[in-house]
Amino acid sequence: MEKSATRDGYGKALLELGRQNKDVVALDADLSDSTRSEYFAKQFPERFFSMGIAEQDMIGAAAGLAFSGKIPYASTFAVFSERAYEFIRNIVSRNRLNVKIAGSHSGIATGEDGKSAQAIEDIAAYRVLPNMVVLQPCDAAECEKMVFALADYKGPSYMRLHRNAVPVIHDSNYKFEIGKGEVLRQGKDAVIFATGTLVHETLKAAEILDKEGIKVYVVNIHTIKPLDSNLVIDLAKKTNYVVTAEDHNVIGGLGGAVAEVLSENYPCLMKRIGMQDMYAESGRPDELYKKYGLDAESIAEEVMKFVSKKK
């Protein structure tokens, strides 16, 4: 199966979008080679703005471009985007400006760069901002669809991208829609809502669980905000056992979002898999996933313990 990083999908789609729409502009904070916005920069240098290591300037400039009718895509590492948080809040979010923020190298999958570069709080930070759409593709193909969908969406957004190559599970016929979760696998004993790289680990975990006689739904939640609340409630009612899986702090991330919906609409047993309110360390992504319980085997083990409560 083909593998590609979501950041590669971002760069590829941004370049093609630039060819189709002359109002699209791109900005970066001295990381265009890593975020892949350099694809756009090489083809359209007159529409690309390298802001240096100055994320606040990047967001301020993006806001001005949006105000003048352009469609700006501003990218940097996820953790560095937070340097501009006050600008994002007071200029972009508060005024509902049409700025598309892309945060690459998110989660502990960033690996050897260590805890200072592993953003595990960004979903929570952006999800709390009014008017902000928060997205996280699970593969490069979905990311491409997402980039184009955001060009049609009028308003601020944050797209969470990854450094590491993962299997491409979608094809060109995939229909992406902001705010609509995707059921990848049917089940009956529990439902696992996963996002980003954890979609792939969860699909592998489902295979392990199947051999143990446990059938689980696997749902790709590419849009954390607005969350597909109807789907969350529907599958919770069908199983009564809900699991979330994410490469992010369980506080404020996908787990928090799902818990908020269920607490007010359909309280049931729930398990949040993710970083348990702690930072990771430097290491290979696969080693870190195993140590912190984010790999397929660990997810399967947690779900087996969780589902056993039914008995």
CB burial class (10 A; 0-12, 13-18, 19+) of residue 46? Answer: exposed
For the chain, what is the domain count? 2
pLDDT given at position 309:
76
pLDDT given at position 71:
98
Give me the CATH number covering residue 251: 3.40.50.920
- Is 172 a domain residue? no
Does one domain contain both 153 and 213? no
- Is 176 a domain residue? no
Question: What digits encode the pLDDT tens for the residues 109-134?
Answer: 999 988 999 999 999 999 999 999 99
Rounded to whole angstroms, the Cα distance separating 161 from 34 reads 11
Give me the CATH number covering residue 93: 3.40.50.970
Residue 302 bears catalytic tag: no
Kindly list the averaged pLDDT for each block of 10 residues, start to end, along the chain of length 311: 94 98 97 96 97 97 98 98 97 98 97 92 98 98 98 98 96 95 97 98 98 97 98 98 98 98 97 97 96 98 90 55
The residue among 133, 167, 201 that closes a domain is 167
pLDDT given at position 310:
67
pLDDT given at position 311:
55
State how far the alpha carbon of 210 is from the alpha carbons of 206, 239, 240, 274, in Å.
6, 16, 18, 22
Sort strands 71-77 and 100-104 into parallel, antiparallel or unpaired: parallel
Question: Hunting for tokens 């398990």 — which residue is that?
Answer: 271
Does one domain contain both 196 and 149? no
Does one domain contain both 29 and 118? yes
Does one domain contain both 218 and 146? no
CB burial class (10 A; 0-12, 13-18, 19+) of residue 211? Answer: exposed
State how far the alpha carbon of 205 is from the alpha carbons of 99, 209, 270, 293, in Å.
36, 6, 17, 12
Cβ atoms within 10 Å, residue 42: 11
Does one domain contain both 268 and 155? no
What residues make up the domain containing 148? Answer: 3-167
Does one domain contain both 91 and 44? yes
- Is 84 a domain residue? yes
- Catalytic member of 2, 46, 55, 297: 55
